[in-house]
Amino acid sequence: MDLTGLTIDSARSAVAERKTTATALAEAFYAKIEADDPKIGAYLILSKERGLAKASEIDRLAEKGDKLPPLAGMPVGIKDVLVTKGIRTTAGSKILGNYVPPYDCTAVTRLEAAGAVVLGKLNCDEFAMGSSNENSAFKPVHNPRDLSRVPGGSSGGSAAAVAADIAVATLGSDTGGSIRQPASFCGVVGLKPTYGRVSRYGLIAFASSLDHIGPFGKTVKDAAIMLRTIAGRDPMDSTSADVPVPNYVSELDKPVKGMKIGVAKEYFGEGLDAEVRNGVEAAIQRLAKRGCEIVEVSLPHTKYAIPAYYLVATAEASSNLARFDGVRYGFRAKDVRSLSDMYRRTRDQGFGAEVKRRIMLGTYALSAGYYDAYYLKAQRVRTLLTRDFEDAFKRVDVIVAPTSPTAAFKLGEKVDDPLAMYLADIYTVTANLAGIPGISIPVGVTKEKLPIGMQIFGKHFAESTILRVANAYEKAA
Amino acid sequence: MKVTEKDVAYVADLANLELSADERTRMVRDLNSILGHVDSLSELDTKDVQPMAQISDRYGVDESKKGSERFAYASRDDVKEGLRTSFPTDVALANAPDADGTFFKVPKVIER
């Protein structure tokens, strides 16, 4: 049996039916990581001791014939911005290079409580800031579909690990597209839930009003299983919503006939690669064949999303990253003259170029004299962007769009042009600003065999609906 | 608005960054490029639009309730009683670059 190629569904059955053991499964993944990851670079840290201990716990349950939890023995990887007790957590940054958290992120706790085996921590852009994973302080990630290309970012390791069969499923975070865009580049499923659907407790903060935790999987069903496990109110995050969690899995196969699918022309304009456009349009036609009604909608403020996003996100980041000062944890610069000298040198030496750029932009946008023109203005435009979605969702059930204007680009292609890199997020940032759920699913490949991703947006807390549409597409494929 | 070298030095100071001469030059270029794109926001008339700081006060809450009532569910059981488990000192200090067993240690704050 090809253990590492299995989905959650099939791997769990294999464990439950005693065709394999959780330990054998974990060991198969560790062997494949050792063989394949050197050329991909998805993992930063392996947590073998913790992972294998969990696997043997599951095996003992299975031996006794006990009922197994929903993710029994499932080998998962965790983006390194989610803290793990006793396992080094770096956020892809030198400033946290030696940080060993004293607590676990709620999403990780919930995965393990459901029986998942944490294989290790996955590479990402430093503090989740980037769209190519080239901002990791440790190493870049190579796209498993074409090693000369980026896996997308910032959750590049999480997407690449699923694509390369070195994790069954993974967790990532999405502040402006960091789950959906890498899912699209690597040809896997990535889901950003509604803001408040999944607790952010233990997620190293980038921009608190935009940060989301969500899953990557090989199939829509796997993403649904993962989401069901991590979703729900958590007293440790006051912004986690007190909204019941539906059974996303049992609702997957409900019919989509008669559903109204919105297509927004603003997502098919200038800058969209022709092959990506064709791929997404063909996918929309396939949904129409399943009985969905295609409705044109307008999201008129879309072109203002990138400017609004990069002001709000960097302003929040400049505040959140003020805590990294070399006092309580992480890196501290040597040979300093005074306390303020220590702060400066620690941050100068500890942060990478993109993080400094965003701290600077955010600080500028919040500084006296510019606050109204930049930060407050961006917050007002955020309201307009959110209203665009509210108006459109009065007419349609979901909205579909390309995930990214292009397929995966080459490593090094955009590193010297921050604005070009930011524009790669043009179709994804809107969902973060409005807090609506979005899923990216693979819808074919380009002539160069690079995956194309399509996004499906839904109303707040309508994850069931977008998963159903995604599943209908996948089943029709 | 054009960002100058002087603005960069001022903002770096606010952000507790020093930045090398090269980094400052690059920062002037990058901030101007990004802010040039951002300036398109001024095309929009937003004087009657409320700013939106976050999502959690708009969705997934009981809209019939107002003010703090609406967020009563967010009160933590452990905090209500005034009790909350915190890390023991040794755990809290374990990641500190410098500590003496009770306190975090930092360079001298007051120069004589």
**Torsion angle in degrees (nearest 10) through CA of A203, A303, B50, A243:** -40
Residue of B nearest to A99 (CA): B95
Summarised one tens digit per residue, pLDDT across range A191-201 is 999 999 999 99
Q: Which residues of B touch A383 (CB under 8 A)?
A: 49-52
**Residue B73 to residue A307, Cβ atoms within 8 A:** no
Q: List the CATH number of the domain containing B28.
A: 1.10.20
Q: In the numeric block, which tokens belong to residue A365?
A: 């946008």
* Domain regions of chain A by residue span: 3-230, 260-303+378-476, 307-373
Q: What are phi and psi of B90, to 5 degrees?
A: -65, -35
Name which of B6, B31, B42, B56 to mutate to probe chain A: the one with the most chain A Cβ atoms within 10 A of its Cβ. B56
In angstroms, the CA A211 to CA A455 distance is 18
CA atoms within 13 A on the CB side of B34: 28
Query: How many domains in chain B?
Result: 1
Q: What pLDDT does A112 receive?
A: 98
Higher pLDDT, A466 or B85: A466
Summarised one tens digit per residue, pLDDT across range A213-236 is 999 999 999 999 999 999 999 989
Summarised one tens digit per residue, pLDDT across range A30-88 is 999 999 999 999 999 999 999 999 999 999 999 999 899 999 999 999 999 999 999 99
User: Across residues A382-386, what is the average pLDDT?
Assistant: 97
Could you tell me if A71 and A61 are in contact, meaning their C-beta atoms sit under 8 angstroms apart? no
Q: What pLDDT does B80 receive?
A: 58
Res A331 pLDDT > 90: yes
Summarised one tens digit per residue, pLDDT across range A92-118 is 999 999 999 999 999 999 999 999 999
In angstroms, the CA A458 to CA A474 distance is 17
Q: What pLDDT does A264 receive?
A: 95
CA distance B25 to chain A (A): 12
A56: Cβ contacts below 8 Å, ≥ 6 apart: A22, A23
Higher pLDDT, A417 or A183: A183
Q: What pLDDT does A416 receive?
A: 87
Phi and psi based region of residue A73 (left: phi greater than 0; alpha: psi -120 to 50; beta: remaining): left
H/E element holding A174? strand A169-174
Summarised one tens digit per residue, pLDDT across range B42-83 is 999 999 999 998 887 777 777 788 777 887 777 766 565 556
Q: State what percent of residues in chain A have pLDDT above 70.
A: 100
The closest of A268, A406, A309, A209 to B40, measured between CA atoms, is A309
User: Across residues A170-191, what is the average pLDDT?
Assistant: 98
The helix/strand count (H/E) of chain A reads as 15, 11
CA distance B79 to chain A (A): 10
User: Across residues A204-210, what is the average pLDDT?
Assistant: 97
Dump the DSSP string for A225-292: HHHHHHBS--TT-TTS---PPP-TTTTTTS--TT-EEEEEGGGGSTT--HHHHHHHHHHHHHHHHTTP
- ipTM of this complex: 0.92
In angstroms, the CA A394 to CA A82 distance is 36
User: Across residues A111-128, what is the average pLDDT?
Assistant: 98
Q: Quick check: is B52 in a domain?
A: no
CATH of domain A3-230: 3.90.1300.10
CATH of domain A260-303+378-476: 3.90.1300.10
Place B110 in a pLDDT band, splitting at 50, 70 and 90. confident
Q: Which residues of A touch B50 (CB under 8 A)?
A: 380, 383
Q: What pLDDT does A254 receive?
A: 95
Q: Which residues of A touch B63 (CB under 8 A)?
A: none
- CA distances A185 to A41, A98, A309, B68, B89, Å, are 16, 30, 22, 43, 45
Res A150 pLDDT > 80: yes
A469: Cβ contacts below 8 Å, ≥ 6 apart: A256, A259, A261, A287, A292, A397, A398, A400, A456
Q: State what percent of residues in chain A have pLDDT above 90.
A: 96
The chain-wide mean pLDDT, for chain A, equals 97
Other beta carbons less than 10 A from residue B91's beta carbon: 11
**Residue A307 to residue B37, Cβ atoms within 8 A:** yes
The closest of A450, A469, A440, A435 to A198, measured between CA atoms, is A435
CA distance B49 to chain A (A): 6
Q: Which residues of B touch A241 (CB under 8 A)?
A: 56, 59-61
Residue of A nearest to B105 (CA): A327
Token match 């390309």: residue? A402
Least confident of A99-103, A453-457, B37-41, B80-84: B80-84
Place B109 in a pLDDT band, splitting at 50, 70 and 90. confident
Phi and psi based region of residue B61 (left: phi greater than 0; alpha: psi -120 to 50; beta: remaining): beta
Range(s) of the domain holding residue B19: 5-41
